[in-house]
Amino acid sequence: MNWISRKIHLYNVTMGLYMLDWWERYLFNILILVLLWFIFYNGSRSASEFYNRCILLSLSNYRPTMRIPSVPLLS
């Protein structure tokens, strides 16, 4: 048994897939792949947004100032 087949066997035993039919196993694996794709896709999008925001803030001389609107005082 080579390393890859041992890892596949460990995955099947750990997740309880060895007792499922072939079509149930494929359905479960497809659901896991879709879930992983969703996590990695949204994680990469938010990481790139965060990285771009940090780069833009560090490259520009961004200094937030508090603007207090001038309101006429009632006398």
Range of weakest confidence among 2-6, 25-29, 35-39, 67-71:
67-71
pLDDT of residue 45: 93
Cβ neighbours for 14, distance < 8 A, ≥ 6 positions apart: none
Contacts of 17 (CB under 8 A, 6+ apart): 11, 25, 28
Per-residue model confidence as pLDDT tens digits over 13-59: 998 998 999 999 999 999 999 999 999 999 999 998 888 888 777 76
Please give the model's pTM, rounded to 2 decimal places: 0.60
pLDDT at 43: 94
Q: How many residues does the structure list for the chain?
A: 75
C-alpha torsion 48→53→57→60, nearest 10: 80
Q: What is the pLDDT of residues 51-65, one digit of tens each?
A: 888 877 776 665 556
CA distance 43 to 11: 24
